[in-house]
């Protein structure tokens, strides 16, 4: 081999290695970059196979030992929650002056009669309410709430999750069992910290000690009778708390296990009567909210552009100008605030006045176009578990921004936690190829009104604020972003000598207190959110 052949052979090996490394890097980039992720289906679940499986298993456990007789224990059984509820007024027993002040009487109101009897379409409104409630249940469903019973292998059998009781109420504990070899006496015990145990029926040849107490023991010579008795064990919560849990100890000789009973009020659904009947009525479903300060000319352009495409949608305006100007017109609500109250305070006011199912947030210098498709936003919110969906903003230069970020908070010990913000998103949404799931989106979004109201906007952010809302929403809002729903942004490019007096006044308020605003942000991040540092792209 000549020198040149040797060199060419050596270079070819070097090039081959370079090509190989480059190819591997490209493969890695392909699989880790957000735009390469496959779609994930977050549409509302209709049927959960796991729930069906455990329902069948639980049904089998309850129907075990059908030949063993039992006697109902009336005082304990009456405390159990029923499958149906009734509202009954109290009967007046005394007819004396001022008796109602001394003995307040229970009154009852029947909405089925009072509302439906006067409604022009009672069957239609009933169907609509049922549909809204079904959507609410599918949206709020979590596999962590499904009742699961761990069949005995320890030899104790008990529910591992999904057991709930309302404060100071009583439930049966399903799935309790003991699976062991025959012996002279079988014994199990239950111990609670926030409630008491009882039985709603008794079985012959089973001894029970501690009924109505926090510690109850059951024993007997027949394992089948003991297991039958365990099917009638009830738990009564005795310590009121709107949302907590009791840790239950379930034990037998040589074995000990624990399971959780959640204690809490049921979440009352918030359903919206929007008249939905096969197609989206945007005016009944959506309210547009904005906050304005000084820029009445921009606000006028925004309203005109909205009316071009959505003439009857309600627009709510929060205004903290020093000298407010009237903003009138059909379907416009104009609310005056104290002078300079601020950006997030205005958002709170505007959103607080929204009565529709969804609220669309826009800045006062945005302009609607044919691509500002509110029906698309409604469609994805109706068909998925998302609480908020952002769009894109197109600048006069033609550049379109979506501002998609992921947010995570990492445990940091005694000094505080670490906030990490990164460009990108988690995954594409199956069925909506232009939409992704993220944690923070641009300042043009539609959201479920009640969910945004729950998070709120910190009114201390008076001049600048964006990330702060999404940080507060982390863990509460399921957020998406769609790049094909676009609103235009009024031009911010102005020559110094062409700026109007109102524009100069706006910039003075908007940018003059940057140091003060930054100091406040640092304080909120450090104290309110308990952060010690932040990394961002």
> Residue 366: which pLDDT band, with cuts at 50, 70 and 90?
very high
- In terms of domains, do 231 and 341 share one? no
Task: Report the distance separating Cα 457 and Cα 461, nearest Å.
Answer: 8
Lowest mean pLDDT: which of 43-52, 241-250, 400-409, 412-421? Answer: 43-52
Same domain, 226 and 287: no
Query: Is residue 319 within 8 Å of 340, Cβ to Cβ?
Result: no
Q: Same domain, yes or no, for 361 and 502?
A: yes
Q: What percent of the chain has pLDDT over 90?
A: 48
Task: Summarize pLDDT for 417-476 with one digit per residue, the tens.
Answer: 888 889 899 999 999 999 999 999 999 999 999 999 999 998 888 777 888 999 999 989
Residue 104 lies in a domain: no
Q: Is 9 left (phi over 0), alpha (psi -120 to 50) or beta?
A: alpha
* 127 — pLDDT class (breaks 50, 70, 90): confident
Share of the chain above pLDDT 70, in %: 76
258 in a domain, yes or no? yes
User: Which CATH number fits the domain that encloses residue 299?
Assistant: 3.90.550.10
The domain total for the chain is 2
CA-to-CA distance for 527 and 516, rounded, in angstroms? 16
Using alpha carbons, select from 482, 358, 382, 389 the residue that is nearest to residue 432. Answer: 482
**C-alpha span between 385 and 373 (Å, rounded):** 20
Instruction: Please check whether residue 7 lies inside any domain of the structure.
Output: no
CA distance 146 to 210: 30
Same domain, 307 and 237: no
Q: Would residue 397 count as lying in a domain?
A: yes
Q: What pLDDT does 34 receive? A: 46
Question: Which residue range forms the structural domain that includes residue 259?
Answer: 49-78+144-264
333 shares its domain with 370: yes
Alpha-carbon separation of residue 460 from 463, 464, 523 (angstroms): 9, 10, 11
**Which residue, of 204, 232, 264, is where some domain finishes?**
264
Mean pLDDT of the chain: 82
- 118 falls within a domain: no
Question: Do 233 and 304 lie in a common domain?
Answer: no
- Mean pLDDT of the region 166-172: 93
43, part of any domain: no
Predicted TM-score (pTM) of this structure: 0.76
Are 70 and 219 in a shared domain? yes
- pLDDT at residue 144, rounded to an integer: 65
Same domain? For 375 and 410 the reply is: yes
Mean pLDDT computed over 400-408: 91
* pLDDT higher than threshold 70 for residue 521: yes
Tell me, yes or no, whether 230 lies in a domain: yes
Given a contact cutoff of 8 angstroms between Cβ atoms, the answer to whether 306 and 322 are in contact is: no
Do 518 and 460 lie in a common domain? yes
Instruction: Tell me what pLDDT residue 131 has.
Output: 80
pLDDT of residue 250 exceeding 70, the answer is yes
Residues 248 and 355 reside in one and the same domain: no
Does residue 114 belong to any structural domain of this protein? no
Question: How does 222-249 read in b/e, with b if 16+ C-beta sit within 10 Å?
Answer: bbebbbbbbbbbbbbbeeeeeeeebebe
Q: Are residues 319 and 445 in the same domain?
A: yes
Q: Are residues 508 and 421 located together in one domain of the fold?
A: yes
Confidence of residue 273 (pLDDT cuts 50, 70, 90): confident
Cβ contact 405:423 at 8 Å: yes
The residue-averaged pLDDT of 210-216 equals: 96
């Amino acid at each position: 081999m000549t020198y040149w052949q040797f060199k060419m052979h050596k270079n070819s090996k070097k090039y081959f290695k370079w090509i190989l490394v480059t190819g591997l890097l490209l493969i890695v980039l392909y699989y880790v970059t957000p735009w390469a992720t496959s779609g994930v289906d977050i549409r509302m679940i209709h049927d959960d196979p796991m729930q069906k499986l455990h329902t069948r298993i639980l049904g089998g456990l309850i129907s075990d030992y059908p030949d063993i007789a039992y006697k109902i224990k009336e005082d304990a059984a009456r405390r159990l929650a029923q499958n149906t509820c009734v509202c009954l007024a109290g009967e007046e027993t005394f007819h004396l002056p001022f008796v109602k002040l001394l003995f307040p009487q229970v009154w009852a109101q029947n909405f089925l009669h009072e509302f439906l009897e006067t409604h022009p379409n009672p069957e239609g409104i009933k169907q609509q309410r049922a549909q809204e409630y079904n959507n609410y249940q599918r949206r709020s469903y979590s596999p962590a709430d499904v009742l699961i019973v761990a069949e005995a292998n320890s030899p104790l059998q008990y529910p591992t999750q999904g057991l709930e009781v309302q404060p100071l109420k009583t439930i049966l504990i399903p799935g309790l069992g003991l699976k062991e070899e025959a012996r002279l006496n079988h014994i199990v015990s239950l111990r609670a910290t926030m409630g008491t145990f009882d039985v709603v029926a008794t079985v012959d040849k089973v001894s029970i000690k501690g009924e109505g107490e926090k510690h109850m023991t059951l024993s007997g010579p027949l394992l089948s009778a003991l297991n039958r008795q365990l099917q009638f064990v009830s738990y009564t919560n005795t310590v009121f708390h709107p949302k907590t849990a009791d840790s239950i100890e379930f034990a037998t000789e040589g074995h000990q296990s624990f399971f959780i009973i959640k204690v809490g009020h049921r979440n009352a659904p918030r359903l919206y009567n929007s008249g939905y009947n096969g197609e989206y009525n945007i005016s009944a479903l959506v309210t547009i909210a904005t906050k304005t300060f000084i820029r009445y000319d921009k606000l006028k352009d925004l309203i005109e552009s909205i009316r071009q495409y959505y003439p009857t949608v309600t627009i709510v305006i929060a205004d903290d100008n020093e000298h407010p100007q009237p903003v009138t017109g059909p379907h416009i609500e104009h609310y005056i605030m104290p002078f300079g109250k601020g950006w997030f305070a205005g958002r709170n006011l505007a959103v607080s006045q929204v009565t529709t199912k969804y609220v669309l947030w826009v800045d006062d210098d945005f302009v609607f176009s044919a691509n500002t498709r509110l029906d698309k936003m409604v469609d994805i919110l109706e068909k998925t578990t998302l609480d908020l969906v952002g769009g894109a903003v197109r600048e006069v230069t033609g550049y379109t921004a979506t501002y998609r970020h992921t947010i995570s908070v990492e445990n940091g010990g005694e000094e505080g936690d670490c906030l990490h913000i990164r460009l990108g998103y988690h995954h594409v949404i199956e069925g909506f190829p232009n939409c992704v799931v993220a944690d923070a989106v641009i300042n043009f979004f539609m959201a479920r009104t009640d969910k945004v109201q729950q998070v709120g906007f910190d009114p201390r952010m008076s001049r600048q604020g964006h990330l702060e809302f999404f940080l507060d929403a982390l863990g509460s809002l399921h957020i998406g972003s769609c790049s094909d729903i676009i609103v235009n942004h009024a031009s911010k490019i102005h020559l110094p000598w062409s700026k109007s007096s109102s524009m100069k006044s706006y910039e003075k308020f908007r940018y003059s207190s940057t140091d003060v605003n930054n100091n406040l942000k640092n304080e909120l991040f450090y104290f309110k959110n308990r952060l010690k540092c932040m990394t961002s792209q």
